[in-house]
Homo-oligomer: A and B are copies of this chain.
Amino acid sequence: MRHFLKPSDLNAEERISVLNRARELKALTTPPTEQNLRVGGLYFNPSLRTRISWEQACWRLGASCQTINAGADSWKMEMNPHAVMDQDKQENIVEAAGVLGRYFHLLGVRSFPGTESWDVERTEPTLSAMCQYAGVPIVSLEGAMHHPCQSLADELTIREHFGNPEGLPVALVWAWHPNPLPMAVPQSFALQTALAGCDLRIVRPDGYDLDPEVMDEIRATGSKVTVTNDRAEGLKGVKVAYVKSWGSMPLWGQTDAEREFRSGLRDWQFDRNTWNLTDEAKVMHCLPVRRNVVLSGEMLESEHSLVFDEAENRLWAQAALIEHIAKREGLI
């Protein structure tokens, strides 16, 4: 059995097939007939787009969907299978995962990284345990390393506007934010667009590199990749600017030190002046966004913004993905 934890967990043929099917589904005016497919969504963190679009994607296919907010409407969960559970945790992830695997044919899981060192967080303790113990396909709804449903929707959005994106100049641009944010969205976007054959520019201040394993995988695609700390150079000629803030891996979990480190970078807001460095780029962001901090309100409201298209496309991309997995795994 295969899971879906990062963009490359679909091979090229599968990925294109899923993206094409997403567009077909979007164009349908009536859903397929009801199917006996039970899907869950397990959230260790807040969500808005993710929960709504995940549930709607299931319903669109005639599947059912249930949401579990871990620790809020369920029991406190112990993540260590070997723990002697005589403290306050009430359920071990081994049992929770096993039970969820009996109730659901397929399970989406959101688990942001914690404040352990990056060496620990990058191993995705929660997602890995779910994959190991649930016995059903797991779809990442954002982990420490990747947010593959987001980047699938992002590629769908790029294809809607540009057709086949091979060779398309696309930039991932770091932006200042009051807090160090997770790496999952930028890493998945970079890998997704490299897989799609884009001419990828990663534009970030020194100290904000992506995870080396992700960079290796990006380079292995054979697509052109440029990494630079010079916004003028990086944004020159780009047709898509994907704006995002993320944290510094060497300072992961050290919030105060990281804030100090980024204190001089507040001018990395993406505003009209930054946009003028591009070739009339479409502006993308996964949302939620710190308005007038990460992106200026002006750019968010401009005709160049695709942020709402991206959000809507979560629904269609995920519906196609679930259908693909359900067929692939013989669930429907």
Interface residues of A (CB under 8 A from B): 29-31, 34, 36, 38, 40, 43, 46-49, 51-53, 55-56, 59, 64, 66, 68-69, 72-75, 78, 81-87, 90-92, 94-96, 98-103, 178, 287-293, 297, 300-301, 307-308, 311-312, 315
Task: Determine the distance from Cα of A74 to Cα of B59 in the docked complex, in whole angstroms.
Answer: 20
Task: Determine the distance from Cα of A171 to Cα of B95 in the docked complex, in whole angstroms.
Answer: 22
List chain B residues, Cβ under 8 A from A307: 95, 98
Kindly report which residue of chain B lies nearest to residue A31, judged by CB atoms: B36
CB of A277 to closest CB in B, whole Å:
22
Q: Which one of B43, B52, B87, B178 lies within 8 Å of A86 (CB-CB)?
A: B178
Q: Which one of B56, B73, B96, B288 lies within 8 Å of A103 (CB-CB)?
A: B56
List chain B residues, Cβ under 8 A from A297: 81-82, 94
CB of A38 to closest CB in B, whole Å:
6
CB of A53 to closest CB in B, whole Å:
7
List chain B residues, Cβ under 8 A from A53: 103
Task: Determine the distance from Cα of A308 to Cα of B83 in the docked complex, in whole angstroms.
Answer: 20
Contact between A85 and B290, CB atoms less than 8 A apart: yes
List chain B residues, Cβ under 8 A from A292: 82-85
Count copies of this chain in the complex. 3
18 residue pairs from A and B, CB less than 8 Å apart = A29-B36, A38-B56, A40-B52, A46-B74, A47-B73, A49-B103, A52-B66, A52-B100, A55-B66, A56-B103, A75-B288, A83-B292, A84-B292, A85-B290, A85-B291, A90-B290, A92-B291, A95-B288
List chain B residues, Cβ under 8 A from A66: 52, 55-56
List chain B residues, Cβ under 8 A from A36: 29-31
Q: Which one of B31, B40, B64, B68 lies within 8 Å of A59 (CB-CB)?
A: B64
Task: Determine the distance from Cα of A252 to Cα of B81 in the docked complex, in whole angstroms.
Answer: 31
Cβ-closest 5 pairs across A and B: A91-B288, A102-B312, A48-B74, A85-B290, A92-B291
Kindly report which residue of chain B lies nearest to residue A102, judged by CB atoms: B312
List chain B residues, Cβ under 8 A from A85: 290-293
List chain B residues, Cβ under 8 A from A38: 56
List chain B residues, Cβ under 8 A from A288: 75, 90-92, 95-96
CB of A266 to closest CB in B, whole Å:
9
Task: Determine the distance from Cα of A312 to Cα of B105 in the docked complex, in whole angstroms.
Answer: 12
Task: Determine the distance from Cα of A49 to Cα of B97 in the docked complex, in whole angstroms.
Answer: 11
List chain B residues, Cβ under 8 A from A64: 56, 59
Task: Determine the distance from Cα of A72 to Cα of B68 in the docked complex, in whole angstroms.
Answer: 13
Contact between A52 and B293, CB atoms less than 8 A apart: no
Kindly report which residue of chain B lies nearest to residue A75, judged by CB atoms: B288
List chain B residues, Cβ under 8 A from A103: 49, 52-53, 56, 311-312, 315
